């Protein structure tokens, strides 16, 4: 598989793939007679995994740490697990935070849609009234 094919199959650009190789996220691909990279299908799973790490907000420097541990072989399993566990904790925390923000957003949007409107400056996150609204103690306001 050439770099263009890989790009199409991963959604990364060829530029990005070369960049990942340059910084060490991807192993140096073997070149053919005209110095072009040739990829094995196995790279797809690794790229997909990197994608998960990226999606969950892992900085490249941490992906590199993981990658380098992996290259050092089975002696680094514990370290890798620890690294992933730490990352998982961050992802969970972020998830919780997002869910919280989403609840606020829901409340606010519900306020906009409310049948009765009092024009007030209430662009708050969780002020008294918003909390009351969420608990069904008051009707939403628009702002």
The site for a copy of itself (CB under 8 A) is made up of 27, 40-43, 45-46, 48-49, 51-52, 55-56, 70, 73-74, 77, 80-81, 84-85, 87-88, 91-92, 94-95, 97-99, 101-102, 104-106, 108-109, 112-113, 117, 119, 121-127, 130-131, 141-143
Binding-site member from 41, 42, 61, 75 for DNA (CB under 7 A): 61
Is the CB of 34 or the CB of 55 nearer to a copy of itself?
55
In angstroms, give the least distance from the CB of 110 to a copy of itself.
10
- The residues pairing with 119 across neighbouring beta strands, listed in sequence order, are 142
Residue 45 and residue 42: Cα distance in Å, rounded? 6
Q: Is 134 helix (H, G, I), strand (E, B) or coil?
A: helix
Measured from the CB atom, the residue of 10 and 16 that comes closer to a copy of itself is: 10
C-alpha 116 chain-centroid distance: 39
- Considering only the stretches 30-38, 73-81, 86-94, 122-130, report the one whose residues sit in contact with DNA under the rule CB under 7 A: 30-38
In the numeric block, the tokens 């996150």 are attached to: 125
CB of 59 to a copy of itself, least distance (A): 15
Structure tokens at 10: 């991963």
The Cα 70–Cα 91 span in angstroms is 21
Distance (Å, rounded) from C-alpha 26 to C-alpha 50?
Answer: 9
């Amino acid at each position: 598989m050439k770099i263009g094919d890989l790009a199409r199959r991963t959604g990364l650009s060829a530029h990005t793939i070369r960049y990942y190789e340059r910084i060490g996220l991807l192993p140096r691909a073997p070149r053919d007679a005209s110095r072009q990279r040739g990829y094995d299908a196995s790279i797809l799973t690794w790229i997909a995994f990197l994608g998960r790490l990226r999606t969950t907000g892992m900085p490249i420097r941490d992906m590199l740490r993981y990658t380098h541990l992996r290259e050092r072989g089975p002696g680094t399993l514990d370290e890798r697990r620890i690294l992933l566990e730490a990352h998982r904790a961050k992802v969970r925390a972020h998830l919780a935070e997002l869910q919280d923000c989403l609840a606020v957003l829901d409340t606010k949007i519900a306020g906009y849609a409310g049948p009765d409107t009092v024009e007030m400056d209430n662009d708050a996150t969780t002020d008294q009234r918003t909390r009351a609204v969420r608990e069904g103690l008051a009707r939403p306001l628009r702002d």
